[in-house]
Structure 1
Amino acid sequence: MTLTVDVQIASQASDLPTSEQLQSWVEAALAGHQWQDGDAELTIRVVDEDEGLELNRDYRQRDYPTNVLSFPFTAPIPMPVTLLGDLVVCAAVVAREAEEQGKTLTAHWAHMIVHGTLHLLGYDHIEDTEAEQMERLETTILTGLGYSDPYAEVSH
């Protein structure tokens, strides 16, 4: 299987992860998940707060920019490549949350990419049991990458 991660930078932020980091985090989230044999593709669009606000308002009816939005794709007909969907990540929100939570920026970026990719695979956190399952999986993936448990309380 070949994974293509199309990265679109629509942000003025200067402290963004590399394309290689983004690709490795997506690959880690996809490891062990069978969605379909063959090649897969997804897009990661990094945005500033204005676009993040607009998308969150238009698609989730929430009037604030959020850290990551996931837009899963379901092909209406069979395709030679599995298009998993799009992730939109608001750089400023991720940076602010990392600081507020006492995490490194890289660790929080990794968490947001893993979290969003799991949403593209159908995971959710609306119900408590779903949230617990998703959080356990995120923790396993991120600790496997060498990061701390993203849900552990951090003392300041």
Structure 2
Amino acid sequence: MNLDISIEDARWQMLEALARPAILAVLDHCGVEHGICEISILGCDDSRIAKLNAEFREKPVPTNVLSWPSAELSAEEPGHEPYPPEADFSGEIALGDIAISYDTCAREASEAGKEMDDHVTHLIVHGVLHLLGYDHIRDPDATLMEGVEVEILGKMGKDNPYNT
């Protein structure tokens, strides 16, 4: 897997150590050959992610994670599995880009009483699933995506992030 990580916020020292196993777990679960995949991740702060959120989603506020899939893989029917990604002419699968904010992740983890590493792992899994066509806009899609997240995280030894 070609993983390009850009660190804009020095607090993201652990990002690569958390990102690689989370991404591999998602790709393995979804049956995607990870050796030919390409993903970029930006580790940033709330200021930067708010600018990105404003530019791409017209929401000028910080968020935890943003994803930009390289291809539209979402299923047409609500609650159905997305289409599998396909390699391009070079034989690679460019999945897309993810940005993740340290400030929001740390705040959410603290408020929920979760370990930062566990919360970040969940958000990376969540972001990669978006790159693979999963979404949570329609209720059946949200149910599917959350179930897949819980299953992947469970295989990684992580608790269900949706249990309160």
* TM > 0.5: yes
Contact 2:68 2:96 in 1 (8 A): yes
Structure 1 pair 54–18 and aligned structure 2 pair: CA distance change class (3 A): closer
- Where 1:64 maps in the other structure, the secondary structure is coil
Letter in 2 for 1:85: G
Which stretches in structure 1 are left out of the alignment for 5+ residues? none
2:3 maps to 1:13: no
2:46 maps to 1:49: yes
| Root mean square deviation of aligned Cα | 1.8
Structure 1 pair 102–23 and aligned structure 2 pair: CA distance change class (3 A): same
Contact 2:28 2:34 in 1 (8 A): no
Match of 1:138 among 149, 154, 160: 149
- Percent of aligned pairs with the same amino acid: 36
- Where 2:29 maps in the other structure, the secondary structure is coil
Instruction: Return the offset for 1:21.
Output: 2.3
Letter in 2 for 1:19: E
Structure 1 pair 145–38 and aligned structure 2 pair: CA distance change class (3 A): closer
Structure 1 pair 38–141 and aligned structure 2 pair: CA distance change class (3 A): closer
Structure 1 pair 151–130 and aligned structure 2 pair: CA distance change class (3 A): same
Instruction: Return the offset for 1:81.
Output: 1.5
- What is the number of equivalent residue pairs in this alignment? 149
In the aligned structure 2, how far is the partner of 1:18 from the partner of 1:63? 25
Instruction: Return the offset for 1:134.
Output: 0.4
When structure 1 is superposed on structure 2, of 25-34 and 100-109 the one drifting more is 25-34
Letter in 1 for 2:69: P
Contact 1:73 1:83 in 2 (8 A): yes
User: Larger RCO: Structure 1 or Structure 2 (Cα < 8 Å, ≥ 6 residues apart)?
Assistant: 2
In the aligned structure 1, how far is the partner of 2:19 from the partner of 2:59? 26
Q: Which residue of 2 aligns with 1:62?
A: 59
Structure 1 pair 84–102 and aligned structure 2 pair: CA distance change class (3 A): same
Q: How does 1:1-156 map to 2 (within 5 A)?
A: 3-13=1-11, 16-34=13-31, 39-74=36-71, 78-153=89-164
